[in-house]
Amino acid sequence: MNKLIITTVALALAMAASVTRAYQPESPECIAPANPGGGWDFICRTTAKNLFDLGLIPGAMQVTNMSGGGGGVAFAHVTKERNNDNDLIVAASTSTSARLAQGIFKGAGADDVHWLATFGAEYGVLAVKKDSKYQNLKQLMDAILVDPRSVAIAGGSSVGGFDHIKPMLVARAAGLKEVRRLKYVAYSGGGEAMTGLLSGAVDVLSGDFSEIRGFYDSGDIRIIAILAPNRLKNFPDIPTAKEQGYDVVGANWRGLYMPAGASAEAKDFWKNAIMKMVESEAFQKDLEAKAIEPFNNFGEDMEKFVKGSIKDIADLSREIGIMK
């Protein structure tokens, strides 16, 4: 009987210790694969704020900006140097799918990270300075058709990234056969691309609405087209490319991944924490303020979605000549 009691107590203590040791991040960190001011930076800072405010992580989350290679520097850092880091999450988007689809992340693929979630999607925009000579999308496309190199278009992703793909799709719809002739200027994030536009270094900015919302509200820029099927409910003054005669829709998903070698407990923790965050009213208000529509995929659904996104972009990249 005494042995049975001792064994039972020992088992209970072991179970209690196991519960006590349940994974909690000690030094939570989110890597934004670009400089401050862009979409990836928004993902990390909004996630960090809401996870902490909602009590879903025990301490404040560090946000690290790691630009380069359209997200490739961060991807390599995660897969090669921090593959077993339980405390790390990384911002991702359609641009991440594009770089993987085009094989830019050399020696790495979708299976080299653990895909956590998508929680929003937004539509791309083409914007100009408030005093730009281009008053609408037709004027811009007419200039490009005459000489594709005469209009400098900035974006916060590298050549071949989603910010590059968006104006190529519009130019193709306008009748430009060799869309690779567009003059695209790659910056290390949406913030730097906006600086290029406002300084006059470039003529047009290709980005996402959340990246430029503040400059639109202040009147520093004009959005000449949003790549949405219909005008946004809360911003009815912004014309779509479609209504101007260019049947193009460009949606950018927002989400997160983490190291593939992290523990199963850590992967479950982050998935559950992010799901709870996404369900919160505070987080949804942050997305709504940036005109980001809900678009939720978690766990296996996220992995299935991102691999489908990679395939779709690879097909598109071949179609418009980025890939052979």
At 100-129, the pLDDT tens digits run: 998 888 778 999 999 999 999 989 999 999
263-267, 292-296, 302-306, range with the lowest pLDDT: 292-296
The SS3 call for residue 322 is coil
Range 123-244 classified under CATH 3.40.50.12160? no
- Architecture of the domain spanning 26-121+253-319: 3-Layer(aba) Sandwich (3.40)
Average per-residue pLDDT for the chain: 90
Surface-to-core class of residue 20, CB atoms within 10 Å of its CB (0-12 exposed, 13-18 middle, 19+ buried): exposed
Longest CA pairwise span in the chain (Å)? 93
Each as own residue / partner, the long-range contacts of residues 46-52 (CB below 8 Å, 24 or more positions apart, any chain) are 46/283, 46/286, 46/287, 47/89, 47/91, 47/256, 47/274, 47/277, 49/286, 50/277, 50/280, 50/282, 50/283, 50/286, 51/273, 51/274, 51/277
In angstroms, the first-to-last Cα distance of the chain is 75
Closest CA to 93 of 163, 36, 46: 163
Whether 26-121+253-319 and 123-244 share one fold: the answer is yes
User: Would the pLDDT of 14 be above 50?
Assistant: no
Cα–Cα distance for residue pair 56/52, rounded to 1 Å: 6
Can you give the pTM of this predicted structure? Answer: 0.77
Cα–Cα distance for residue pair 298/304, rounded to 1 Å: 10
Q: Give the pLDDT confidence score for residue 324 in this predicted structure.
A: 75
Closest CA to 93 of 33, 139, 138: 33
User: Would the pLDDT of 290 be above 50?
Assistant: yes
User: Would the pLDDT of 18 be above 80?
Assistant: no
Q: Give the pLDDT confidence score for residue 323 in this predicted structure.
A: 79
**Residue 26 is which amino acid?**
E
Mean pLDDT of 39-63: 96
Domain borders along the chain are 26-121+253-319, 123-244
At 150-162, the pLDDT tens digits run: 999 999 988 888 8
What does DSSP say about strands 183-186 and 293-298: parallel, antiparallel, or unpaired? unpaired
